[in-house]
Amino acid sequence: MTKTEKFYKEILKRKVVNVEDLKIISKKLFETDDEYYYRKYIYKLLQEGKIGKIRRGMYYGVPLDRIEEDYQPDRYIIGNRIAKGNALGYHTALELHGAAHSAYNRVFVLVTKEDRFREFDFFDTKYVPVVNKQDVGHITSIEYENAELTATDQARTFVDCLSRPDLCGGWEECLKSLANLKGISVLDIREVLSAYDNTTLELKCGYVLELLLENSPYYDHIQKEKLEPLRPSKDWKPVYIDRDVPSKLEKDWGLYIPEDLDDLLRGV
């Protein structure tokens, strides 16, 4: 097997590679991670159609039996390989947990300010960086297409989606997707909320949990009294969760909610 073939084999194993991956592969095969050394193999494989370029420093392997086709790598694997240690979140996490109500053409990648990348399009998908707290934890590994992906777990996905429903397709898509999210634990949600330290977000989570208790079979295991710690204090002044739409007061949770919010789950 030639050096080029060995290089190609390693890329195929990983499906999608970034600069760090290429350095690891080069060090393993050639005992050097010098970019100028492995670049010649990248160029040759590109010419042969055995790999494709996603963006600068990021490539995907093309199986031998697909070289003559318009091969498209998996978007979740691409999203997880943009930068080391970044997890997938928001609507993308809902999709990976099998809960998304609708298909979406964006992949949301959690990043820090330091490793934020410029959003880009590849095939029919937009890859979007979202600056998010990295010390919250609640990141899980998901086996997917013979690859291991990292995404926010169910509890953090629940909280993050209610923090940014705009990254989940809007309120209707957000609620209908959360209604399909299995394995929710109130204790885990409270743990995530403690890291965010946002009272309005706590109230939103409590209100939506109560709503889902009444409308989704996947929340039947939750006892209503478990929601009490999330309720507002006596001196809490109600706040709006969306000032751009007509709202009504939900007294028990100290929130002004969109007028049709509790009707969106009908028929779920």
Q: Which domains does the chain have, with CATH numbers?
A: 3-66 (1.10.10.10), 75-263 (no CATH)
pLDDT for the residue numbered 266 = 64
pLDDT tens track, the chain, 268 positions = 899 999 999 999 999 999 999 999 999 988 888 887 788 999 999 999 999 999 999 999 999 998 878 899 999 999 999 977 789 999 999 999 999 999 899 999 999 888 889 999 999 999 999 998 777 889 999 999 888 999 999 999 999 999 999 999 999 999 999 999 999 999 999 999 999 999 999 999 999 999 999 999 999 999 999 999 999 999 999 999 988 888 999 999 999 999 888 777 765 5
pLDDT at 30: 86
Q: What pLDDT does 33 receive?
A: 83
Predicted local distance difference test score (pLDDT) of residue 86: 86
Residue 157: the pLDDT is: 98
- State the pLDDT at residue 268: 56
Q: Cα 68 vs. chain centroid, distance in angstroms?
A: 32
The pLDDT of residue 267 is 54
What's the pLDDT at 90? 97
Of 17, 151, 19, 14, the closest CA to residue 85 belongs to 151
Angle at which helix 19-30 crosses helix 3-14, to 10 degrees, equals 140
Cα distances from 209 to residues 155, 157, 240, in angstroms, run 11, 13, 18
pLDDT score of 147: 86
Q: Cβ(205)–Cβ(193) under 8 Å?
A: yes
Q: What is the pLDDT of residues 134-172, one digit of tens each?
A: 778 899 999 998 889 999 999 999 999 999 999 999 999
* 108 Cα distance to chain centroid: 5
Cα 148 to the center of its chain, rounded Å: 14
**9-30-64 Cα angle (round to 5):** 15
CB 145 within 8 A of CB 119: no
Query: Measured between alpha carbons, how far apart are the two ends of the chain, in Å?
Result: 56
pTM: 0.92
